Amino acid sequence: MSKLIGERALTGHKALIREEALRQGFLHCGFARAEPPEEIRGFYSSYLEKNRQLSLSYLQSNFEKRMDPSLVLPGVKSIISLTLGYSAQPPVPEKDSFVIAKYARGADYHEIMKKKMDRFISWLKAEFGRARIKRFVDSGAIPEKFWAMRSGAGWQGKNTLIIHKEAGSFFFIGILLTDLELEADSPATDHCGHCTECIKACPTGALNTPYQLDMSRCISYHTIENKNAIPEDIIRHLGNRIYGCDLCQDVCPYNRAPKPTIIPEFLPSPDLMNMGKTEWLNLSEKQFDRLFGHSPVKRIGYDRLMRNINAASG
């Protein structure tokens, strides 16, 4: 295998890199040129000016870096997107219980994804020499969904999530910036067509404008990011949901037959599978730490989870 990085695009090596990514368990591996994403600048600027990010202050920081990957990694030439499936099987029982989003039912994806990406980076450096590479998993000034779309991992659906025609949308996204010059893939094209299932399924109207999320109406925002009291008009539509909401994904035609995850850490624990409403309502802080110590749920803490449980219980 070549250990040299030439100025020409590594066209012949793209298939090799993708093959290794899939061998290591990633769902998809795509490539894009590291050019400023000017087509989203106007929308992003307007989004911030209208304060649609609400309490997500990190979206305001490092705006120019988000618009120019060379400010994040000088000399960057290519961006590699990696996705990792998390659709959990078997499903957590929802009858006489409360519901947390599928992505949060197992181990914290940040740590799992980072470990897998670090292993992949080690392979890239061993294969291609002194490559410079930076990884991002919900971190740093990287518009991850844009680069996933640009590199062919999927299109942004009317529910604002990235959807792949064969793999659906139950996956995590990781982004690599590198000075390796790799041939770009074609961006994914939109296959939502006339379908409005996600819009109809959203009980709060957060998706009434297709392809845009009204965060102030989103159950996921209010059960995860909102640190204040949940508004009454959102509580009315919680159902049994206490952390996140998968409704707009569950009804998507491209998620009709989701592949079970091959990552055992993403599977729900037996203890979580056995939780009923009585157990949730009587959850102690010690039990919270045991159940969610290595889960995305830990980031909202015990008090906010109990706030959500009490709100959903009526």
- C-alpha span between 90 and 170 (Å, rounded): 15
271 included as an active-site residue: no
- C-alpha span between 294 and 203 (Å, rounded): 30
Nearest partner of 265 among 85, 134, 138, 99, judged by Cα: 85
Annotate 168-204 with b (16+ C-beta within 10 A) or e (fewer): bbbbbbbbbbbbbbbebbebbeeebeebebbbebbbb
- C-alpha span between 154 and 150 (Å, rounded): 8
C-alpha 175 chain-centroid distance: 11
List the catalytic residue out of 138, 179, 214, 250.
Answer: 138
- C-alpha span between 241 and 169 (Å, rounded): 19
Catalogue the active-site residues: 138
